[in-house]
Amino acid sequence: MNHPSPKSEWRLRLPQRLPQRALQALGRGRVNGRSGVNATVRLDRRTKTLTKRLRPGEVAVIDHVDLDRVSAEALVACKVGAVVNVAPSISGRYPNLGPQILVEAGIPLIDDVGPEIFARLTEGDLVGIQGETVFRGDEMIAKGTEHTPETLETAIADAKAGLSVQLKAFVVNTMEYINREGDLLIDGVGVPDIKTKMEDRHALIVVRGYHYREDIAALRPYLREYRPVLIGVDGGADALIEAGYRPDMIVGDMDSVSDDALTCGAELVVHAYHDGQAPGLKRLHDLGLEAVTFPATATSEDIAMLLADEKGATLIVAVGTHANMVEFLDKGRAGMASTFLTRLRVGSKLVDAKGVSRLYRSRISTWSLLFLVLSALIAIVVAVSVSPAGDVIAPALADRWHAFLFWLTGLFS
């Protein structure tokens, strides 16, 4: 008897077909007897900027080589009608997951249409997409390659074969980074003085990356008991606020964090270029906020880890950060050498959020808590039964008991 072979990690699943009514609600359906996408277009060369103003069903025009997983998930969350990419969504450097995520979600992906589309379209234009062609009315605006599960499966297989080249480039970039930032990595030279006290405390570093919402939710018992220093990396500060927490510190370029987060009272550390220039400072000064700068060629999440390590944090818990080579390359920076070396530097303290949520247990045992509750209950019953004022006290105690049960339930939610 033949058994089906297990699917590869990169195996594509065919997207489920949506009902025609649902497709029309997203700008898809039949127009003049032809199926396709007909919707308002939004254009931006930066995908993360575009997702802030995309509405469901609209067509997104981006310029994003090797579309990464986080950007693709953001586009899916916006319920975009279609994605048109000026650049190759998968160039073959490595098997990036972004295109696969879009196609599996049933979102048409037209690839490599060329940069002229930015000059030929204006934001707000009504466009139609038929197959691999973009129209405005009867005028053909651009033509590219329409991705399907089959084309992506072939492209991913080719990209996997080229990973050895990327690994060699990764090693070269790592050596260059050591020569350039060795003092920072080894001796902590250049780490700024900060007001937030981290010595002998845990630090939670949140990046708005992979599964950050689920990880923060899973860490609630840990956060309640240990009360770590909360560090948001750019948009990670908004992620903390959305989850009901106020960040103690915000680290980053300050380009993808909201004004509400910046003005929440957190200490601000601006990631500056190696020469000391910090474009993010202008925005803070316009808001009347003060900040310190941290010059480094590392990524913002890396300098947050280096800062926590240098200032004495005993444990660094990472949410949404990059943990393997494909995720390093997804970040789109030359080999992500800084991320690799930073993890070597802080490795003895660094723990992924998933590891903490799986291993963490409350220091109060269940049996001890039940024994305490039972003892208190017996004492209360005895006291009320022998007291002459028992009839008066009993209703008040009942109210207290219900409040206690509510608090007890909160410990396990």
Q: What digits encode the pLDDT tens for the residues 325-334?
A: 666 666 555 5
**Comparing 169 with 194, which gets the higher pLDDT?**
194
Taking CA atoms, 109 is separated from 50, 89, 104, 348, in Å, by: 16, 9, 11, 42
**Comparing 188 with 114, which gets the higher pLDDT?**
114
Where does the pLDDT of residue 17 fall: very low under 50, low under 70, confident under 90, or very high at 90 and above?
very low
Contacts within 8 Å (CB) and 24+ apart, 269-274: 269/192, 269/194, 269/293, 269/294, 269/303, 269/304, 269/307, 270/294, 271/296, 271/300, 271/303, 272/296, 273/297, 274/180
Where does the pLDDT of residue 136 fall: very low under 50, low under 70, confident under 90, or very high at 90 and above?
very high
Q: What is the pLDDT averaged over residues 217-235?
A: 92
Q: What is the pLDDT averaged over residues 228-234?
A: 95
Q: Is the pLDDT of residue 55 over 90?
A: yes
Res 361: pLDDT: 56
Res 210: pLDDT: 72
Res 23: pLDDT: 42
Contact assessment for residue 297 and residue 181, using Cβ atoms and an 8 Å cutoff: yes
**Comparing 187 with 46, which gets the higher pLDDT?**
46
Q: What is the pLDDT averaged over residues 397-413?
A: 67
**Comparing 151 with 7, which gets the higher pLDDT?**
151
Where does the pLDDT of residue 69 fall: very low under 50, low under 70, confident under 90, or very high at 90 and above?
confident
- Residues in Cβ contact with 123 at an 8 Å cutoff, skipping those fewer than 6 apart: 41, 42, 43
CA dist 400 and 382 (Å) reads 16
All domains in the chain, ordered by first residue: 20-160 (3.50.30.10), 163-359 (no CATH), 366-411 (no CATH)
Res 408: pLDDT: 64
Q: Is the pLDDT of residue 238 over 50?
A: yes
Where does the pLDDT of residue 27 fall: very low under 50, low under 70, confident under 90, or very high at 90 and above?
low
Q: What is the pLDDT averaged over residues 237-253?
A: 95
Write out pLDDT tens, residues 351-402. 888 777 666 655 555 566 677 777 777 776 676 666 665 566 667 767 776 7
Q: What is the pLDDT averaged over residues 120-140?
A: 93
Q: What is the pLDDT averaged over residues 285-312?
A: 90
Q: According to DSSP H, which parts of 188-207 are helical?
A: none
Among the residue ranges 83-92, 224-233, 403-412, the one predicted with the least confidence is 403-412
Q: Is the pLDDT of residue 119 over 60?
A: yes
> Structure pTM?
0.59
Percentage of the chain lying above the pLDDT 70 cut? 71
Per the prediction, the chain carries an average pLDDT of 80
Res 24: pLDDT: 41
Q: Tell me the pairing of strands 82-85 and 59-62.
A: parallel
